[in-house]
Amino acid sequence: MLKVNNLVKVFNKNTVNENVIFNNFSIEINKGDFITIIGSNGAGKSTLLNVISGVLSMDEGTLILDGKDITNLPEYKRTRQIARVFQDPSKGVSPSMSILENMSMAYNKGKTFGLTRGVSKKNIGLFKELVSTLNLGLENKMDEKVGLLSGGQRQSLSLIMSTMCRPKVLLLDEHTAALDPKTSARIIELTSEIVNRDNITTMMVTHDLSHVTKLGNRVIMMHRGNVVLDIRGEEKKALTVEKLLSSFDDVQGMLSDRTLLSK
């Protein structure tokens, strides 16, 4: 469904600050996969999402989506197929615009026009219905500026906007990290509802191990631009935080041994 083949990504190439993030990295994501991605800072998690979404280009490699090569497809042309929710609640919305305008913009993503000027009563009804699923009462405040909403309300809206057109792939980049525990729990619940209902292929970066054990059908651990742990199937279903930490310790030991052997 989604294939990253032989990805090479280097920052500050040919300088003293050269940083090789990926060197011939490959991964295949199956249709309907809900993958949680964990790893230390600098492992390449966010860079991978940036490459898939088109924010960053590949130095080498190919990106295949449903059999089509989209390696050179610009970010704005990927947005209807590949949606993303960021850690910062303000990134997925336009704070100076109303809820209705934001919904209209998301609905018409990739089209020439798309604000309230041409919004039909039918679409307004659709937008209100979608917003009402958040159970935040925002369907009665469609003309309110999004910048006046709380972080949790904005992130909830961003999630609805990102998935309303049924993207092929949903990228979640620590989308609950900036929220309080109660709001975070609601966003995770909403995420699970939407992804499972619409069977959206999803990649979710997180540092919360409880999310890793409860959500999705596959767990990937990354380290220095490589997948060092890939848990799926029955093993994923039986996964607990304790088992995950044990697997992490095993991987850490292997990596330490490799480092020592390479010296």
- CATH number, residue 210: 3.40.50.300
Tally the residues of the chain.
263
pLDDT at 251: 77
CA–CA dist 130, 160 (Å, integer) = 7
Reading the block at residue 25, the tokens are: 């990295």
pLDDT at 114: 45
Ordered mean pLDDT values, 10 residues apiece, the chain (263 residues) = 98 95 98 95 95 98 98 94 93 93 87 56 91 92 95 94 95 93 91 95 95 96 94 94 86 60 39
pLDDT at 260: 40
pLDDT at 261: 39
pLDDT at 248: 80
Strand partners, 22: 9
CA–CA dist 146, 181 (Å, integer) = 22
pLDDT at 246: 87
Helix axes 151-163, 121-132, angle to 10 degrees: 120
For residue 206, give the nearest of 85, 94, 52, 93 by alpha carbon: 85
Query: C-alpha distances in angstroms, 1 versus 20, 28, 167?
Result: 27, 7, 13
pLDDT at 256: 59
Q: Domain limits at 11?
A: 2-261
Instruction: Say how many domains are in the chain.
Output: 1
Residues sharing a CB contact under 8 Å with residue 71, sequence separation 6 or more, in sequence order: 58, 61, 62, 63
Query: 20 in helix, strand or coil?
Result: strand
pTM of the model: 0.91
CA–CA dist 21, 213 (Å, integer) = 27
87 within 8 A of 178, measured Cβ to Cβ: yes
158 within 8 A of 134, measured Cβ to Cβ: no
Q: What angle do CA 84, 86, 91 make, to 5 degrees?
A: 100
